[in-house]
A and B are shown apart, each in its own frame.
Chain A
Amino acid sequence: MPKQLIRLVVNGEGHEVAVEPWWSLLHVVREVIGLTGSKEGCGTGDCGACSMIVNGRLVTSCIFLALEADGAQVTTIEGIGGDKGLHPIQQAFVEEGAVQCGYCIPGMIVAAYDLLRQNPRPTLEEIRYALAGNLCRCTGYTKIYQAVLRAAEMMGG
C-alpha cells in the first residue's frame, strides 16, 4: 500500500501528512510535524510521556495509530503552554518544584490539563487516579500532586 494522506488539526493548526499504516500519532507529531514536546518513554502505553488529547479524549499517542487520527483535533503540550507564556499548570509545577529531569512532565501537564478541564477542583485521590498512567522516575509524585492542587486553585476552579 502507498502512504495514505491524513488531515489533522494540531493545536489549532491544520496539517496534511502522508503516513504509513504502522506509524503512531506520536511519530507523526514529533518526526513529521516537528513538535517534539511530547516524549516517547516506553512506546507501549505504560508511561504516559506521549499523552495527547485527541477529539477530547486523553490518549497515549505512542500506541494510537496515525491513520486513526484522520480528521481529528489534537492537543499536545505545545497547545497548552508555549511561546506566549506558561500555562497556570506549568507555572504551578515550577513554583512547587515538581520538575526534576523533566522527561515525564509534558505528559503530566497534558494529563493534568485533561483532568482539570473535567474536574476543576479534584481531590488528592482524584489526582492520583487521573495521573496513574503517567510515570515519573525522579520526583516521587508528591510535588506533582501538590502542583496540580495549586494549579486548580490558581485557575479558580
Chain B
Amino acid sequence: MRPFSYFIPASLQEALAIFQREGEGGRPIAGGTDLVVQLKEGGHKFPYPRYLVSVRRLPELRRLEWVEGEGLRLGAAVTMAEIEASPIVRERYLALAEGARVVGSRQTANMATVGGNLCNAAPSADTAPPLLVLGAKARILGPRGERLLPLEEFFLGPGRTVLEHGEVLVEVLLPPPLPRSASAYRRHTPRQCMDIAVVGVAAFLALDEAGEKIAEARIALGAVAPTPIRAHRAEALLVGRPASPEVLGEAALMAREEASPISDVRGSAQFRRYLVGVMTEAVLEEALSRARGR
C-alpha cells in the first residue's frame, strides 16, 4: 500500500471535524475488508486517499438496538458476525441475518461491517437486498447536517453512493415488522462459502388478517443491475392477491424482466436472468411459509 495518514477519532463529532479540517481526499474506513484490499490491489473507484478516518469504534455507529414503536437501529459499524448472532435480528429480520451469514469467512465476518457493505456499493453486496425489502432508511451525517434516505436512493452505481466528501453513514433504521410477515434471502454461488453472489434475492411478505391474501410485498435483487434493486413491478403483482403458488410464479417471471444483468466471469446475463426467476419463486415461497408460521 502507498502511504496515507490515519485518524482514530473518539466520537462522531470528532470524525466529522477531521473531514472538515483535512479537506478533500479522505475516506471513512470501518472493517477495511473492502478498502484495505482495494488499496493493496487497486480496483477502487475513487482517487487513492490521502487520509483515512476510522469509524469502526464510534459509539454512535456501534448500536444494535430495538426501540419500541420505532424498530431496529442498526449502527453502520456493527459487524456481520454481530448481526448474525443477534437474537432480535434472527427473530424479526431473518433475511438480514441470512445475508450477513454468507459474507466471506468467519474471519471476514468478524471485521466486515454492514455500513462498509452498503457504502462499498457492490451490486452483489449481501446485506443490500435484505435491507431493501425490510424497508431500511439510511441516516447520514455530514457537513451539511443530517439526511435520512430510503435505502433505494442510496446507491448510484457500482461503487458509487450518494455520500459526499465528509459524510458518514451513521446507522440504518428498520421499521418494526408487520403482523403475519416474514423475510428471506438467498444467493447463488458455485461455492457455499468465500464466494460472491452470482444472483442474490430477498423477499418480504405480509399477509392480511385472514392469512389468505398478500397485504404487502417487497422483492430485491442483487448482482443483476448496476446497483442492488427493488423489483417494483413484481411486487405490484402480489399485493392484494391470494398467496398461491400461481401468483408467486407470476411475480417471479416479472422479476426476471426487471433484472438487467451483465455477463462476467461469474455468469452470463442469460443465466443470471434465468436464476432470478427460479430464485425469486423459491425465496417468495420461503417468506410465505415463514409468514404463515407466525
User: Residues of A with Cβ closer than 8 Å to B?
Assistant: 1, 4, 20-22, 24, 43-46, 48, 51, 57-60, 63-65, 67-68, 70, 111, 114-115, 129-130, 132-134
Contact = CB atoms under 8 A, between A and B. Distances in A.
Contacts of B4: 21-22
B106 A111 contact: yes
A45 B106 contact: no
Given A21-B6, A64-B32, A58 B41 contact: no
Contacts, number: 82
B6 A67 contact: yes
28 contacts: A21-B5, A21-B6, A22-B1, A22-B2, A24-B36, A44-B37, A44-B41, A45-B37, A46-B194, A48-B105, A51-B107, A59-B110, A59-B111, A60-B108, A63-B32, A63-B37, A63-B40, A63-B111, A64-B111, A65-B32, A67-B6, A67-B8, A68-B8, A68-B54, A129-B106, A129-B193, A130-B106, A133-B194
Contacts of A57: 81, 110-111
B229 to A, nearest CB: 27
Given A51-B107, A60-B108, A1 B5 contact: yes
Contacts of B37: 44-45, 63
A58 to B, nearest CB: 5
B272 interface: no
Contact of B6 (A63, A65, A111, A132): A65
B175 interface: no
Given A21-B4, A21-B6, A58 B36 contact: no
A114 B29 CA distance: 26
Contacts of B56: 68
Contacts of B33: 45, 63
Interface string B35-74: 0110111000000000010101000000000000000000
Given A68-B8, A133-B108, 19 more contacts: A22-B2, A22-B3, A22-B39, A43-B40, A44-B37, A44-B40, A44-B41, A45-B104, A60-B107, A63-B40, A63-B111, A65-B32, A65-B36, A67-B6, A68-B32, A68-B56, A132-B194, A133-B105, A133-B193
B31 to A, nearest CB: 9
Contacts of A45: 33, 36-37, 104, 107-108
A63 B111 CA distance: 10
B108 to A, nearest CB: 6
Nearest to A114: B106
Contacts of B6: 1, 4, 21, 65, 67
A132 B105 contact: yes
A83 to B, nearest CB: 27
A95 B33 CA distance: 35
B107 A48 contact: yes
A65 B1 CA distance: 11
A45 B108 CA distance: 7
Contacts of B3: 20-22
Contacts of A24: 36
Contacts of B106: 58, 111, 114-115, 129-130, 132-133
A24 B6 CA distance: 13
Contacts of B81: 57
Q: What 10 A-B pairs come out closest when comparing CB atoms?
A: A133-B105, A21-B6, A132-B193, A22-B1, A57-B110, A63-B36, A60-B107, A1-B5, A133-B107, A44-B37
Nearest to A107: B107
A134 B5 CA distance: 31
A120 to B, nearest CB: 16
A4 B106 CA distance: 29
